[in-house]
Amino acid sequence: SVISAASLQAPEPVEDGLSFADNALLKARALARATGLPAVADDSGLCVDVLGGAPGIFSARWSGRHGDDTANLQLLLDQLADVADPHRGARFTCAAVLVQPASGGQAEQVTTIERSMEGRLVHAPQGEGGFGYDPIFVPEGYDQSFAQLGEEIKNGISHRARAVAKLVEYLKKK
């Protein structure tokens, strides 16, 4: 069965890694060590080509305030104001990490899966759904933003869905 970290009231570590995988590992490792149980955690964000992959691991606090979706989105739009459509490539990236704690003489085991959803950024928010950068991100193969596509479609094709599906596939083989 699956137990959420919130229900266990486990401490949340400081996410000071240098990559999505580093931050996901920090969270999964802290949870596994606090509970003695296998733990899964993820970290994700938006990587913009013309910004050298930024905001990346700083996506949630791009404007300087953690979790201020409106300010983060507006700052990114301002930074890209003069960037032409052909140069507005971006991707959402997610790293999912499984930590199996050391036990019975076995060393800790870490499995990391990273997946992306390629797309492009539009010039203004489109749609009411989603959160964060969803209103300006149009996934490859679609002509609507994540905010317009709806949760069911987004959750089926997203970077997080791809990473978790691959992790589940890995676990089924074990």
Q: Which residues are catalytic?
A: 43
Task: Compute φ and ψ for 158, nearest 5 degrees.
Answer: -65, 165
Q: What are phi and psi of 6, to 5 degrees?
A: -65, -40
* Residue 3 structure tokens: 């137990």
